[in-house]
Amino acid sequence: MSFRYLGNKTKLSEWIIGEIRRIIPIGSSIADPMCGTASISLALAQAGYSVTAADALAFPVVHARSRLLAKQAPPFKAFGGYDKALDWLRSIPPTEGYFFREFGDAGTPANGRQPRLYFSASNAARIDGIRVSIRDLASSGTISGLEHSILLHNLILATNKVANISGTYGYFLKELSKNAQHPITFESLQFEQTPGSHSVLQGPIEKHASSLCVDAVYLDPPYTKRQYAGNYHILETIAQEDEPVAVGDGGLRPWKEQASDFCYRRFAGKAFRKTLEQLSVPHVFISYSQDGQIHEDELLDILNDFGKVTLHEQSYNRYRSNNKVKEGTLLERLYHIKCY
Ligand SMILES: C[S@@+](CC[C@H](N)C(=O)[O-])C[C@H]1O[C@@H](n2cnc3c(N)ncnc32)[C@H](O)[C@@H]1O
């Protein structure tokens, strides 16, 4: 399954869950309010925790709903099962709509810019057709909310595989890559029968922190200046099912209102402090990279105000760009705060 995502913790999940398990008994409740791909939410659920996932953006919520809440394939009665729903997705004819115009290599962007090579024209038109069909199905009440999320989740994963980008959607490659020339394909999802009872919320931590009533919170905030809302604008548009103005050469959706304070050197420390002030839980775990905006000493100064802090470290390959591992490894850090 294809999750190209900055800060995706899939490869670190065994280590992170192992550290959490030493402190929080299986069966407890844990929130992952910056869940991204929901890799840690799912790993926690598989380990036997009850998980509340959330994110400021809409597409991580689609991922989390599909990965956590669908413990088996939903009935998809309108089609006669999930496999038939996938066949339906695969058979939807292309439409020359918003994606074709704004993000396809034969498009004519509304602001008069050059075609944006995020997708081949044929894949962009397939995405358009599918978006319209999913939206119609959902608005007519033919599918449930969870079925709706699963179809969008399938579409996002399929889109990631044919996107003509190097890592993020901040900009497109100059020429269509081999992957981008392949027709978009839809793979069947694996559903996980996890034991706990889970929930998924949408919105920033600033909105949820004070009402999280759980045994522990796992925080995985952005640690670089790269804003997720801008760098994943196309996935956000798929999840929001809208057609925003595509701005500038890159065609980004207006994202400033969704900007995260954790990405600004000036505001990140305050954002940590504010979040921790609002949380009222016995344990907080925080993933934060050695490369983060906030230096380790400064972060420790903040965390020490909220409880007894223990630091765990693991070396990790740097973020891949263009399929190359940047030189060297860095330390991924997991802080545990036993709150006062
Ligand atoms: C490092 S990623 C999380 C990666 C995730 N653990 C995974 O394995 O995929 C950071 C996430 O925080 C989200 N985010 C940024 N600021 C936020 C905020 N104020 N409240 C909630 N989520 C936020 C981003 O949208 C992004 O999905």
Q: What is the pLDDT of residues 224-247, one digit of tens each?
A: 999 999 999 999 999 999 999 999
User: CA-CA distance, 40 to 51, in Å (whole number)?
Assistant: 10
Residue 329 zone, left/alpha/beta (φ > 0; ψ -120 to 50; rest): beta
pLDDT (0 to 100) of residue 41? 98
Q: Pick the closest to residue 119 from 141, 139, 92, 96 (CA basis).
A: 96
Which residue among 59, 228, 263, 332 has the greatest number of ligand 1 atoms within 8 angstroms of its CB, and so is best to mutate? 228
Task: Tell me how crowded residue 50 is: count the other CB atoms within 10 A of its CB.
Answer: 19
Tokens of 339: 């709150």
Q: Tell the residue nearest (CA) to atom 5 of ligand 1.
A: 36
pTM for the whole structure:
0.95
Domain(s) labelled CATH 3.40.50.150 in the chain stretch across 1-72+197-221+264-340
Percent of the chain with pLDDT over 70: 96
pLDDT (0 to 100) of residue 331? 85
Higher pLDDT, 129 or 332: 129
| Ligand 1 lined by 255 (C-beta under 6 Å) | no
Superfamily of chain region 1-72+197-221+264-340: Vaccinia Virus protein VP39 (3.40.50.150)
Q: Tell the residue nearest (CA) to atom 16 of ligand 1.
A: 260
Strand-by-strand arrangement of the 307-317 sheet:
199-202, 50-55, 29-32, 216-219, 283-289, 329-339, 307-317
Residue 179 confidence (pLDDT) above 60: yes
pLDDT (0 to 100) of residue 316? 75
Residue 325 confidence (pLDDT) above 70: no
User: CA-CA distance, 251 to 45, in Å (whole number)?
Assistant: 37
| Ligand 1 lined by 63 (C-beta under 6 Å) | no
Residue 199 confidence (pLDDT) above 90: yes
| Ligand 1 lined by 74 (C-beta under 6 Å) | no
pLDDT (0 to 100) of residue 172? 97
Residue 1 confidence (pLDDT) above 80: no
Residue 324 confidence (pLDDT) above 60: no
Mean pLDDT of 19-32: 98
274-318 pLDDT, tens digit each: 999 999 999 999 999 988 999 999 999 999 999 999 999 998 776
